[in-house]
Structure 1
Amino acid sequence: MERKSFLDQEPPPGYIAGIGRGATGFTTQADLGGSRRLPAGSFAPEDDNNEDDEERFLDADDDDTGRFGSIGDDDDEADRIYDQIEAKLHRKKARPRKRVLKDAPKDENKVQPQDISIGQSIRTIGEEFKEYKEKLSEVSAEDWLNLPDSGDFTKRNKRARKEMQERQRFYRNSDFVTSGLRDVGSTGDQALLDEKDVDLTGLSAAKEKVLAGQLTSLRDDKAESVDAETYLSQLQEVPGEISTEIGDYHKTRTLFAKMRETNPYKPDAWIASARLEYEAKKYKRARELIQQGCEKCPKSEEAWLVNIEMNKHDVSVCKVIVAEAVRYNAKSVRLWLCAASLEADSISKKRILRKALEFLPRSSELWLEVVKYEDDETMALRMLQKATELVPGNVSLWLEYAKRGDSKQILEQALEKVDSADAHILWIEMAKEEEQRTGNEVKIGRIVESCFEHTSLDRETWLDIASQCEKDGSSLVARAIVFSSMNLGVSDDDKLDIWKADALERPPEISRSIYMFITSNFPHDIESWMNFIKMEKTLKQYDQLYVVYQMATRANPKYELFYLMYAKDKWKEDGDVEKAKAIIAEALEVNPESEDLWFAALKLRSGEEARELFAKCRELLGGKTARVWHKSVTFERQNENRAAAKNLAEQGIQHHPKESKLYLQWGQILEEENELAAAAEIYHKGTLMCPNRPLLWVHLVRAYEKLGNLLKARSILDQAVISNPFSDQIQLERVLLEERAHNRSQAERILATALKKLPNSALLWRQNILYARPSHRKNLYTTALNCTDDHPMIILTIAKDMWLSGKIARAKQFFDACYEKDAAYGDYYIHYYAFLMKHGTKGEIQELEARFTENDPHSGEEWCALMKDVHRKDTDLELLRKAAERAAGKT
């Protein structure tokens, strides 16, 4: 790039770099005061010999000139005025907010003003309203939501005027209407212009002129561009009274009249006008209009049909009309069918339909209709044969022909004539015929496979066809279609997931077929077998269910759960205990060391038979699992054999010294015998061997509490907290121990500390809600639910609290929410049963019992304690009823 020449030259005199771009400072006259402005560049450079520079600014403070010139008397006066204003404002701000009237006499009945600060006034007001603010905590959430909204009065008048304007109707007046009104005024009728006396006759005349102008404009081409056909067709389709469907009947009638006048050979206008009159209950006028329409438009099939419809009460008139109609519309299938329907006997119907076939020999509808009234089967077959020759591509004719003749031969013949897109219908019909005739599933499968070879439908379409076959009662055909269509359009990687999704969305028979296909191709897919079993149980098809169980156990003999479910359903649903025993015995042959199978076998037996089986089980599994020992102890306790139970518990502990349940059982037996000290010793041994089992610590504490040694109980709980720092069960026992010792304040302190340590414990939050005052409990609901992730225990606690508070509807909502959260929560059934006993119906109680039986609850403190009671003799449902009665008696 070429270098500019001026860069190498000397700058001109007085040049200052950047001054043209405003990059340097500048000096104004105001800066210099009254002195003369000097030109740029006239300043002498700094020089050591310039002696005046050091002293030239020393007199600035004493000078009367500033950057704005000299200071005069006017400036002094202005400053004085501003100072006075500032002083006055300062005095005004310094005044107290409330004046004290010193000279006024004091009245004890009046409020005396006081000189207080703003902060004191705020605190005083806060103290006055403190009592009312505390009462706000007792206001329920429903009361807050039901507070009325303040009315909006600011725009009430404006809103009223706007609504009045919206109700008003305005019309556009043309020039000749305006001039007409002016002429009326000029003739002496000045009352039109008077606000107090309006000439209604003149206004009516003006409106008529406006309407006449609008109707006249309909003749223009521009008016004809409006899509009137769409409006008329919609009007024909909408039934109902004219008063509710059409805003202004008279205007619409006039509009239709003008349309008929403009286009008299357009049938839609005549049809719409006739329907308008008919819906307005002016039947005579409607019939006259549609008759005129038929005369004007004799080739309109729809007009004749409407005419027949409006005269349907007089069959003779309808026959005359339809005879005239077919004379002009001999090719109308609808008119011929209408004519046949007007006849009462089959002979007349056949005569008319045969006449129609002379004009329309290739109408499949007429052929199918005439065959219906043919009594001679041979003649009907001949007619259908002729029909299939004239209309070889119509599937309905071939199906009717096959239905009356040799179906297999006719359908095979039809496959050569019909279009390939409709061929699958004939194949499926052949399969249905085979199912009705023989029920041979193999032959049906071959026919369906041939159908798939000659058609190209997708899998979804085939599944829809299979669903329709199921509705028609052809279950074997539906199954064959499912088997043949499952691999269409699916990859090997995704097919299992796709098949499972299809099985969940389809009707029962189709889903059953899909599951059969899945389990035959993937016999070891446990999820598919489980879904198959669940579906059959939902449908309560127990015969099918047992077949599925048999197939599942044969395909997966090592999977114990199938045997257990099979035996349980046989026992519960059929009451067949012997068959259940046989199922478990068969399972034990394949899985001889399965604990679950052994205990299932023991559950089906009682008395000496069960005792002998327990002995065999202990010999086989006693050294491997402690479960057989505490099951044996439970069995002996149920049979009131405490000595044998203690002996088994002691033997079990020798084999499994770290099994906490054996220590618990041994201690409970001793407590039943009133040997509290020995029981405490056994519990203590258990805590030494199993320090991380909170239930052992709890029983040990309660044993010492029963012995009257609260200090020992408290020290044991302290040890338990050290061994189990995050056990809410032990923390709750600390709270309950103080509660039982009538030390409520200490219990609340312990609970508060425990909640800080374990903020997500449902046990502790429940106790916290119970300790809270009724007016404060509502504030704890949301916090407890959020901290415990909507635990069913908290939901049930809220439901019970709502019930006790008298809020029955809200309580029921929370009971329902508890069921939705966990249907297997046993405590819900106890308290909801008690609730329904007082506030429910017999039907609701029966529904709850059905839920209980279906879900078989297995959780909940109260319910588990009842289930584990070794002395109970009741069934689960009886146990529930008794527990609910006790709960209802406490409320």
Structure 2
Amino acid sequence: MERKSFLDQEPPPGYIAGIGRGATGFTTQADLGSSRRLPAGSFALEDENNVDDDGRFLDADNDDTGRFGSVSDDDGDADRIYDAIEAKLQRKKARPRKRAQKNALEDENKVQVEEISIGQSIRTIGEEFKEYKEKLSEVSAEDWLNLPDSGDFTKRNKRARKEMQERQRFYRNSDFVTSGLRDVGSTGDQALLDEKDVDLTGLSLAKEKVLAGQLTSLRDDKAESVDAETYLSQLQDVSGEISTEIGDYHKTRTLFAKMRETNPYKPDAWIASARLEYEAKKYKRARELIQQGCEKCPKSEEAWLVNIEMNKQDASVCKVIIAEAVRYNAKSVRLWLCAASLETDSLSKKRILKKALEFLPRSSELWMEVVKYEEDETMALRMMQKATELVPGNVLLWLEYARLGNSKQILEEALEKVDSADAHIVWIELAKEEEQRTGNEVKIGHIVESCFEHTSLGRETWLDIASQCEKDGFSLVARAIVFNSMNLGVTDDDKLDIWKAEALERSPEISRSIYMFITANFPQDIESWMNFIKMEKTLRQYDQLYVVYEMATRANPKYELFYLMYAKDKWKEDGDVEKAKAIIDEGLQMNPDSEDLWFAALKLRSGEEARQLFVKCREQLGKKTARVWYKNVTFERQNENLIAAKELAEQGTQHHPKEFKLYLQWGQILEEENRLEQAAEIYYKGTLLCPNSPLLWVYLVRAYEKLGNLIKARSILDQSVVSNPLSDQIQLERVLLEERAHNRSQAERILSTALKKLPHSAVLWRQNILYAKPSHRKNLYTTALNSTNDHPMIILTIAKDMWLSGKVARAKQFFDACYEKDPGYGDYYIHYYAFLMKHGTKGEIRELEARFKENDPHSGEEWCVLMKDVHRKDTDLELLRKAAEKAAGKI
């Protein structure tokens, strides 16, 4: 801001600051000194007569007169009174200071305080800064001039506000934008707008620049600088939306008219104008404009094509237009193809295309199109032969030629003439031809190997080509491509991980080929074999699955799980028991000490054959594992040979005295013989040798309960808690014992105490829910689920409770949640089957049975009891149906 000149001038004589603004105030005698009121003429300029008047004010301090005359007596009295008061105040202030000085003198350790006047203090401060003031003389004139100014802050806010107003612009807005902004505010999106920091000043400047650019583009002398071609070409691409995207039709129309006038020989302006009119439903005007455009720009094939498009309702007019178009553009393939498409019969189409070939004999598109309408195969073959002679580098022509003639010979000839970038296409076609003709995988592999030697494509590209070959039905070619491409672009360190990832992402045939390649190069990689098997089972390609099993067992003969899976699938899916036996026997030859293979072999046999095999198994594994003994005991119990079973149990305890299952089976056999006291003795013996087995304690308690000795049963339970303090099974048995003794209150107290010790036990929470009142159960659901980490037992308990409460829909939701949590939970199938029997359909029941077969459940209290029943004769599915019928009968 410009500095006012008067600020640097001397004030006039007698000038009093602020007097012009009314700042008169008041003036005392001390302010005026010995000055007198001067006459108006005394403020004259200096001259030779008054040069010595500069000292006329030196006696002002000693003058007793005031501004308005001499000092009166009243003024003197007032001055004396004020002086007396001031002296009295000074004396009062001096007393504390003297007292402090006296105390300081008495105490030598304190800082001595020296009283000085204000003038003395000012002089002292001045002396402290004297050194720094002297250094100012060393500052040069240039440094003084370069000192920054403090700045002019006069009316600063007013200037900033004025500048902001000058930058603001106002524009007319469309109703569409206004309504959009209104909708934004009403739909709750205003919060989103408020969160964004909108720079209104920058937006205003940007709009100003855009407006200036648009105005500049309309000037005649600057019309050449507008990139109209790009704009109009983009406008053509969205011709279907032009009516909604152009805000002002009339302004746009005027703009296009100006562009046509400026550049009449550029077809883009004519095309854009015609499309604008066409979208505005002014068809006649559009056709006139595009016709003018064709006349102005007859060499533009795009203009002619648009003209035909706008006259497509009248075929005769289109033919006239296309005839005129090809007269000016005889080298345009698009126009010739358009002319052929306007004809309805094949003969006319072929005639036009042949005419086009006279002008464009090296156009592969025309050759490919004309051969479609040639009915004579011999003539079509000659035409393609001529086409390949004229355009030898086009691979599509060679492929069509091979399709019509001797494909192998033609393709071999094509390898020498096509471009190197397209050579792999010919090689792949040769491989496809070999697969289609002979199906010889070895020859196909050689052809694909030769292809890889002459090309340099990447692994991903080859896998995509292999996928396309699979879709076309050439699986052998796809496999050969995979085998030859797997090592491209990979290192030895990470190739296995890359191959596994590719196998999981690709189509079935490609994945199968990749797994075959992996297992061939890494035969001991169990994970790849497992993924291979899982994929084949998912696809239900059992023939291929059995081939994979054969390869897996041969590659890993010591891995017993492959034999077990192979035998199980052969038994379950094909029902071929003999083949399953042979598979297990083969596995036993390679793994004679495998318990799982021995028991799988025993499971596939029955009667005397199984009994003889048990003898061999005991000889082989009897001293190593107790499993063979209790499996043999179970077999004899299932065949109702209790004497042999009891003998085997006794022999087993001699070899394995700490196997609790042998004592359980021995005691159960005695219970079946109604010898409860002997059974209790065996259970008790088992608890002495296996104190950490909760099930033995439970059977011992139940034996004494059957004998009617509840006191003994309670005593045993108390003893079992000492040996198994964290067993929820024993705690539950304590609760159930009191329940069976009709002592519900004691049972609830025991349950409450047990839950405090074992807050994560699912069986205890289930019992707690069952004991709770119906009105209180809802609150227990969430607590139980959170405490047990959504255990399937709790979810199933809630589903059953919902069902009993009549909430069928909610019950079904919890049944589904139970399945998602654990598909192998057997109790779910029992109760959901019962639920579907009353509230489901036959289709849902069949779906549940399919799930049951697929997951083969082996968990759940109720289901395990049914599965381990030695007297059952039913299959698993029949057992499920009977259990479900029994559960449904209780509802």
Q: TM-score, normalised by structure 2?
A: 0.73
- 2:256 corresponds to: 259
Q: CA deviation at 1:514?
A: 0.9
Pairing of 1:835-850 with structure 2 (within 5 A)? 835-850=835-850
CA drift of 1:813 comes to: 2.9
Q: Distance in 2 between matches of 1:250 and 1:50?
A: 98
CA offset at residue 506 of structure 1? 0.9
Residues 726-759 of structure 1, C-alpha deviation per residue, up to 9 Å, x if partnerless?
Answer: 1111111112212222222222222222222222
Task: Give the aligned partner of residue 810 of structure 1.
Answer: 810
Q: 1:220–1:807: structure 2 CA closer, same or farther, 3 Å change rule?
A: farther
Residue in structure 2 matched with residue 697 of structure 1 by the alignment: 697
Match of 1:352 in 2: 352
Task: Assess if the C-alpha contact under 8 Å between 1:256 and 1:272 holds in 2.
Answer: no
1:626 Cα shift?
Answer: 1.9
- The letter for the 1-side match of 2:249 is T
Q: For residues 49 and 666 of structure 1, do their structure 2 counterparts lie closer, same or farther at Cα, with a shift above 3 Å needed?
A: closer
For 1:836 and 1:701, locate their aligned partners in 2 and report how far apart those are by CA, in whole Å: 37
Identify the residue that residue 636 of structure 1 maps to in structure 2. Answer: 636
Seen in structure 2, the aligned counterparts of structure 1 residues 299 and 496 have a Cα distance that, compared at 3 Å, is: same
Aligned to 1:430: 430
Letter in 1 for 2:840: G
Is the CA contact 1:423–1:455 (under 8 Å) kept in the aligned structure 2? yes
Q: Which runs of 5+ in 2 are unaligned?
A: 1-84, 108-177, 185-213
1:543 CA displacement:
0.7
CA shift for structure 1 position 288: 4.9
1:236–1:675 CA distance, 2 compared to 1 (3 A): farther
Counterpart contact for 1:257–1:273, Cα < 8 Å:
no
The answer for the alignment partner of 1:367 in structure 2 is 367
Within 5 A, what are the aligned runs for 1:50-129?
none
Distance 1:49 1:753, change over 3 A: closer
State the partner residue of 1:674: 674
CA contact (8 A) 1:632 1:648 kept: yes
Cross-structure match for 1:158: none
Confirm or deny: 8 A CA contact 1:256 1:269 kept in the other structure.
Answer: no
Structure 2 Cα separation of the partners of residues 413 and 658 of structure 1: 82
Q: Alpha-carbon deviations, 1:107-136, whole Å to 9, x = none? A: xxxxxxxxxxxxxxxxxxxxxxxxxxxxxx
CA-to-partner distance for each residue in 1:158-214, whole Å, 9 max, x for gaps?
Answer: xxxx9999389xxxxxxxxxxxxxxxxxxxxxxxxxxxxxxxxxxxxxxxxxxxxxx
User: Any conservation in 1 of the 2:256–2:272 contact (CA below 8 Å)?
Assistant: no
SS of alignment partner, residue 439 of structure 2:
coil
- In structure 2, what is the Cα distance between the partners aligned to 1:412 and 1:164? 66
Distance in 1 (CA, whole Å) between partners of 2:181 and 2:722 is: 81
Residues 253 and 273 in structure 1, CA contact (< 8 A), matched pair in contact too: no
Instruction: Give the direction of change, closer, same or farther, for the CA distance of 1:842–1:329 in structure 2 (3 Å limit).
Output: farther
How far apart are the structure 2 equivalents of 1:834 and 1:332?
Answer: 76
| 1:735 maps onto 2:735 in alignment | yes
Give the AA of the match of 1:35.
R
Residue 64 of structure 1 corresponds to which residue in structure 2? none
Name the counterpart of 1:534. Answer: 534
Counterparts in 2 of 1:643 and 1:275: CA distance versus 1, 3 Å: farther
User: What amino acid does structure 2 have at the position aligned with 1:373?
Assistant: Y
Q: CA separation in 2, counterparts of 1:742 and 1:591?
A: 55
What is the aligned partner in structure 1 of residue 614 from structure 2?
614
Q: Distance in 2 between the 1:878 and 1:238 partners?
A: 67
> C-alpha displacement at 1:277, in angstroms?
6.0
Distance 1:234 1:724, change over 3 A: farther
For 1:632 and 1:584, how far apart are their aligned partners in 2? Answer: 19
Q: Secondary structure at the match of 2:665?
A: helix
Q: Is the 2:353–2:370 Cα contact (8 Å) retained in structure 1?
A: yes
Equivalent residue number for residue 153 of structure 1? none
CA contact (8 A) 1:827 1:860 kept: yes
Counterpart residue number, 2:786? 786
How far is the alpha carbon of 1:541 from its aligned partner? 0.7
Q: CA deviation at 1:262?
A: 4.2
Read off the aligned partner of 2:634 and give its amino acid letter.
Answer: T
User: Shift of residue 520 of structure 1?
Assistant: 1.0
Query: C-alpha distance in 1, partners of 2:721/2:688?
Result: 14
Three-state SS of the structure 1 residue aligned to 2:574 is coil
- SS of the equivalent of 1:704 reads helix
| Contact persistence 1:649–1:665 (CA under 8 A) | yes
Task: Return closer, same or farther for 1:48/1:709 CA change in 2, 3 Å cut-off.
Answer: closer
- Which letter maps to 1:866? L
Change (3 A) 1:655 1:42: closer
Moved more, 332-341 or 587-596: 587-596
Query: Counterpart of 1:722 in structure 2: which amino acid?
Result: V
Structure 1 CA distance for aligned equivalents of residues 794 and 234 of structure 2: 58
* Structure 1 contact 558–590 (Cα < 8 Å) conserved: yes
SS at match of 2:662: helix
Q: Distance in 2 between matches of 1:228 and 1:889?
A: 84
Retained in 2: the 8 A contact 1:823–1:855?
yes
After TM superposition, give the deviation of residue 517 of structure 1 in Å. Answer: 0.9
Counting only pairs closer than 5 Å after superposition, residues 287-436 of structure 1 correspond to structure 2 as: 287-288=287-288, 290-436=290-436
Deviation at 1:887, TM superposition (A): 2.4
Contact kept? 1:435, 1:477, Cα under 8 Å: yes
Relative distance call for 1:584 and 1:216 in structure 2 (3 A) is closer
1:497 maps to amino acid: D
Distance (whole Å) between structure 2 residues aligned to residue 164 and residue 571 of structure 1: 69
Query: 1:865: how far off?
Result: 1.2
Q: Which moved more, 1:858-867 or 1:843-852?
A: 843-852
TM-aligned CA deviation for residue 620 of structure 1 = 3.2
CA distance in 1, matches of 2:601, 2:558: 17
Q: In 2, Cα distance between the equivalents of 1:555 and 1:527? A: 13
User: What is the distance in 2 between the residues matched to 1:695 and 1:837?
Assistant: 34
Cα distance, 1:251 vs structure 2: 4.6
Please state how far the C-alpha of 1:799 moved relative to its aligned partner: 2.6
Distance change in 2, residues 1:36/1:361 (3 Å): farther
Q: Which residue of 2 aligns with 1:876?
A: 876
Deviates more, 1:679-688 or 1:644-653: 644-653
The alignment partner of 1:35 has SS state of helix
Q: Is 1:550 matched up with 2:550?
A: yes
1:415-461: CA deviation from partner (whole Å, max 9, x where unpaired): 34333332222222222222222222222222222222222222222
Match of 1:485 in 2: 485
User: Shift in Å at residue 634 of structure 1?
Assistant: 1.6
CA distance in 2, matches of 1:507, 1:842: 35
CA contact (8 A) 1:218 1:258 kept: no
The residue identity in structure 1 corresponding to 2:770 is: L
Structure 1 position 382, deviation (Å)? 3.7
Query: Whole-Å Cα distance in 2 between the matches of residues 739 and 238 of structure 1?
Result: 80
Deviation, 1:655, is: 2.5
- Asked if 2 retains the 8 angstrom alpha-carbon contact of 1:219 and 1:262, the reply is no
Deviations 1:794-824 (A, max 9, x none): 2222333333334433333332222222211
Mapped contact 2:398–2:414 kept (Cα < 8 A) = yes
Stretches of structure 1 that go unaligned for 5 or more consecutive residues are: 1-28, 52-161, 169-214
Specify whether residues 44 and 836 from structure 1 end up closer, same or farther in structure 2 by C-alpha distance, changes over 3 A only: closer
Q: Measured at CA, do residues 574 and 279 of structure 1 come closer, stay the same or move farther in structure 2, by a change above 3 Å?
A: farther
Superposition TM-score, scaled by structure 1 size: 0.73
- Greater RCO between the two (CA within 8 Å, min separation 6)? 1
3-state SS of 2:91 partner? coil
Count of residue pairs brought into register by the alignment: 704
Partner of 2:506: 506
| Residue 609 to residue 395, structure 1, CA distance change in 2 (3 Å) | same
Aligned to 1:573, what secondary structure does the other structure show? helix
Q: Which residue of 2 aligns with 1:748?
A: 748
Matched letter for residue 523 of structure 2: P
1:466, distance to aligned residue in structure 2 (A): 1.1
What's the CA shift string for 1:573-600, capped at 9, x where partnerless?
Answer: 1111121122222222222332222222
1:503 CA displacement = 1.0
Q: Give the residue type in structure 2 aligned to 1:727.
A: S
8 Å Cα contact 1:253-1:276 kept in structure 2: no
d(CA) in 2 for partners of 1:226, 1:771: 86
Distance 1:828 1:224 in 2: 80
Question: Of the two, which has the highest radius of gyration?
Answer: 2
Query: Quick check: 1:333–1:366 contact (8 Å CA) kept in 2?
Result: yes
Give SS of 1:624's match. Answer: coil
